[in-house]
Amino acid sequence: MMLTVLAWGTNFAIIKVLYQELLPSTVALARAIPMAVALVLICRWQGLPLRYKSPRDAAVLLALGMLSMGVYMFFFLEALRYVTAADGAILMATSPIWTTLLACLFKQEKFDWIVLGGALLALVGVGLVTARTGPLAMDPRGVGLMLTAALCWALSVVLSRRLMRTRSPLQVLTLSMPGSLIVLLPYGGASLMSTPWLQLQPATWLALGHISLLAGALGFFGFYRAVKDIGPVGAMLHQFLVPPTAMITGILLLKDAVLPVQILGMMLVFAGVWGAQRARRNASEEPLAAGSESR
Predicted pLDDT of residue 258: 67
Q: How far apart are CA 152 and CA 90, in angstroms?
A: 16
Predicted pLDDT of residue 282: 62
Q: How far apart are CA 97 and CA 114, in angstroms?
A: 11
Distance of CA 171 to the CA centre of its chain: 18
pLDDT confidence bin for 291, thresholds 50/70/90:
very low
Most confident of the following: 112-116, 140-144, 264-268: 140-144
Predicted pLDDT of residue 2: 66
Task: Tell me how crowded residue 59 is: count the other CB atoms within 10 A of its CB.
Answer: 12
Ranges of each domain in the chain: 2-284
The answer to whether the beta carbons of residues 108 and 232 sit under 8 Å apart is yes
The answer to whether the beta carbons of residues 39 and 167 sit under 8 Å apart is no
Lowest mean pLDDT among 69-78, 98-107, 172-181: 98-107
pLDDT confidence bin for 295, thresholds 50/70/90:
very low
pLDDT tens for each residue of 215-263: 888 887 777 677 666 665 566 556 666 777 777 777 777 777 666 776 7
